[in-house]
Amino acid sequence: MYSQFRSLVFFALILSAAATLRAQNPDEPAKAKKDATASPAAAPADDSYKIGDQDVLKIDVWKEPDITRQVTVRPDGKISLPLLDDIQATGYTPLELAKIIREGLKKFINEPEVTVTVTEINSRRIYVTGEVMHAGAMTLLPNMTVLQALSSSGGFTQFANTKKIYILRMENGKQMRIPVNYRDVVSGRKPEENILLQAGDTIVVP
């Protein structure tokens, strides 16, 4: 009986010590949980990206909610903002456009702080049509090739003539037709036909 009593006393002392440690470090479990669930840092934006028509921009002007807004670049390459009316956006990087807006707002606001973020890239698109599983438009990714675009379209139908694929591209106001023999490309006989795509390209799979 005495040994059981000693065991109970010893166990109670252990529980008391553990409670004391928790009281001394109340934030420790929460901190550990927070560290375990912390989100990774956001990927840095590409500062070299040039804004294009139909891109969607978030214009943030610090402490100016009436000017802060989301806008779509019009086909004429411009956006409209209060106080500044129409501003050319196409052809500028987000940092360059932010500087232009900042300079314009200095006439009305003391030391404006402006941030421009591209929330939707709609100007850099290509198109895949013909005998593919998923025809339509897709976003042109950096260094995207013909094979990558065809893969993103879900592959070919059973009727596709993969030897007669071609790309339609506008250059200097004229439409070019660039042949692509899919079989020669994937076999390595003509790797040069796996060309880098440009915005506005249309891949035709007959």
Q: What is the mean pLDDT of residues 104-129?
A: 93
Please tell me the distance from the alpha carbon of residue 20 to that of residue 189, in angstroms, as a whole number: 74
127-152 tens-digit pLDDT: 999 999 999 999 898 899 999 999 99
44-77 tens-digit pLDDT: 345 788 899 899 999 999 999 999 999 999 999 9
Average pLDDT for the chain = 82
137-190 tens-digit pLDDT: 998 988 999 999 999 999 999 999 999 999 999 988 899 999 999 999 999 999
Residue 185 tokens, joined = 């490309």
Domains of the chain: 56-120 (3.30.1950.10), 125-205 (3.10.560.10)
pLDDT at 119: 93
Q: Considering the entire predicted model, what is its pTM? A: 0.59
pLDDT at 46: 57
Please tell me the distance from the alpha carbon of residue 82 to that of residue 95, in angstroms, as a whole number: 19
